[in-house]
């Protein structure tokens, strides 16, 4: 961790958020998920909006989403994708670069294919 990295914040029982290179060009937000329940997704979306609303002007939103330790179901993914779709409609001009770490499983593969919709 360098001088501009902030410690990871547990924002719910289901995930943490950490800013790397905070306030600097190339700032990156890292979300590490341990579950993807409706409650976790709702808290994440609120956190995501707050993060984007305070993002350095003129900088692309750079993020890493680690979902590698989450036990998923299709229903949970669907709810998360519906929320992401609404978010993209709220922020249509937001320039993003997002990396996702997914499980090496069928659900992970389906998630990777669905994420292509937001690329």
pTM of the entire predicted model = 0.82
Q: Cα–Cα distance between 61 and 6 in angstroms, integer?
A: 17
15-20 and 28-33 as β-strands: parallel, antiparallel, unpaired?
Answer: antiparallel
- Residues 27-57 pLDDT 10s: 999 999 988 889 999 999 999 999 999 998 8
27's CB contacts (< 8 A; 6+ apart) are 19, 20, 21, 55, 56, 59, 62
Q: How far is CA 75 from the centre of its chain?
A: 18
Average pLDDT, the chain: 84
How many CA atoms lie less than 13 Å away from 31 in the CB half-sphere?
26
């Amino acid at each position: 961790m360098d001088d501009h990295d902030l410690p990871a914040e547990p924002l719910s029982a289901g995930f943490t958020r950490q800013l790397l290179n905070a306030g600097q060009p190339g700032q990156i937000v890292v979300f590490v998920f341990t579950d993807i329940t409706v409650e976790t997704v709702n808290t994440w979306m609120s956190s995501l909006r707050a993060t984007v609303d305070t993002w350095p002007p003129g900088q692309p939103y750079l993020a890493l989403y680690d979902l590698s330790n989450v036990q998923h179901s299709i229903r949970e993914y669907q709810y998360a994708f519906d929320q992401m779709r609404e978010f993209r409609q709220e922020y249509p001009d937001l320039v993003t670069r997002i990396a996702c770490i997914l499980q090496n499983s069928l659900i992970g593969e389906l998630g990777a294919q669905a994420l292509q919709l937001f690329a």
